[in-house]
Amino acid sequence: MTKRTWVLKDVLELYALPFLDLIFQAQTVYRQHFPAGTMQLSTLLNIKDGGCPEDCHYCPQAARYHTGVKAKKLLSKEVVSQQAHTARELGATRFCMGAAWRELKDRDLPAIVDLIKEVRSLGMESCMTLGMLTDEQAQALKEAGLDYYNHNVDSSPEYYKEIITTRTYDERLQTLQCVQDAGIKVCSGGIIGMGETLEDRAGMLVTLANLAQPPESVPINRLVPVPGTPLENTETIDPFDFVRTIAVARIMFPTARVRLSAGRTTMSDELQALCFMAGANSIFYGEKLLMTGNPEMVKDRALLQRLGISVDQLVNQPQA
Ligand code: SAM
Ligand code: DTB
Ligand code: SF4
């Protein structure tokens, strides 16, 4: 089957559907590709805190903003291994490691390779988000066994320039290309609620859908307004507009994991349930994202149970 090319007009038509029609369509698409009522739990660990030279206006880890985040060194393999073991015991099937870097430096590559091998040996899917990569680095991560690489486009090409000036949209796309060329699956999405228009939201999804290969994983973050960042006073968006983006993403990426990512601590149970109805089938599981909070695990378990949603189980067995 030839790949569909998405145009902005079609995406805006989806956004313009009556809310219930859009949700119904998204849930129908979801059920054609996934078993109904299932959720992936992915645990996130920041392996390198703060001190980042970039100016992403939303980010607590950018060195130039006064957010109280202290720069630290890369975590040791022992610490990461212990966290990954705990995540597995608590039921996560994917372990995502993030670093506050503009780009991966070759001098850090051996340590990163070790971390990937460690997580893979536990039978979990591995994901890394380390900033920009070269072809050679992506190849080395693939050889180490990396399953997914997270690199968000964050917004539309037009609105991106209002949010980040220290690297271009094209550089982001180039890294995604390196990742795909190396045979690593792509996790890429963005942030909703940064002051962007509906067209920007649609434009972001069009960019992702029209990649040579659409991402296998699409994180949709609701902005966490962090004090000290330029976006700290951004107004919260209408919750239904957020749900619409989840639904449109589900329709445009029928086989991808659409992850309800940052921003859940300020969402009601009912809003999260609507996001699941709209086709989100993955969440971050664990009480911290990178720098900011995430719902308590007992609360998440209770919510999923109340909704009759079952969690995905590990398929691969640990090597030892
Ligand atoms: N430094 C690497 C990079 O920028 O690609 C990896 C880590 S970076 C923190 C990963 C993603 O987290 C960003 O691209 C952004 O989409 C998301 N993020 C960061 N701060 C956020 C915030 N305050 N609210 C919502 N999402 C945020
Ligand atoms: C993604 O799209 N969201 C995650 C993950 N990929 C790396 C990060 C969210 C960060 C929220 C703000 C913080 O905790 O620093
Ligand atoms: Fe640095 Fe990533 Fe934060 Fe941007 S989002 S400031 S690149 S850590």
CA distances from 311 to 38, 45, 68, 319 (A): 6, 20, 35, 22
Distance CA 307, CA 36 (A): 12
Instruction: Give pLDDT tens digits for 76-95.
Output: 999 999 999 999 999 899 99
Instruction: Give pLDDT tens digits for 45-82.
Output: 999 999 999 999 999 999 999 999 999 999 999 999 99
Ligand 3 centroid distance, CA of 57 (Å): 9
Ligand 1 centroid distance, CA of 267 (Å): 19
- Radius of gyration over alpha carbons of the chain, in Å? 18
Ligand 1 centroid distance, CA of 292 (Å): 11
Instruction: Give pLDDT tens digits for 269-311.
Output: 999 999 999 999 999 999 999 999 999 999 999 999 999 999 9
Which residue from 278, 256, 253 is spatially nearest to 267, judged by alpha carbons?
Answer: 278
3-state secondary structure of 217: strand
Closest residue CA from atom 3 of ligand 3: 59
Choosing from 46, 47, 55, 59 the residue with most ligand 3 atoms within 8 A of its CB, the one to mutate for a pocket test is 59
Is residue 318 very low, low, confident or very high in pLDDT (cuts 50, 70, 90)? Answer: low
Which residue from 235, 259, 227 is spatially nearest to 129, judged by alpha carbons?
Answer: 259
285 neighbors 312 (Cβ within 8 angstroms):
no
**How would you label 241-257 residue by residue, b for 16+ Cβ within 10 Å and e otherwise?**
ebbbbbbbbbbbbeebb
220 neighbors 261 (Cβ within 8 angstroms):
yes
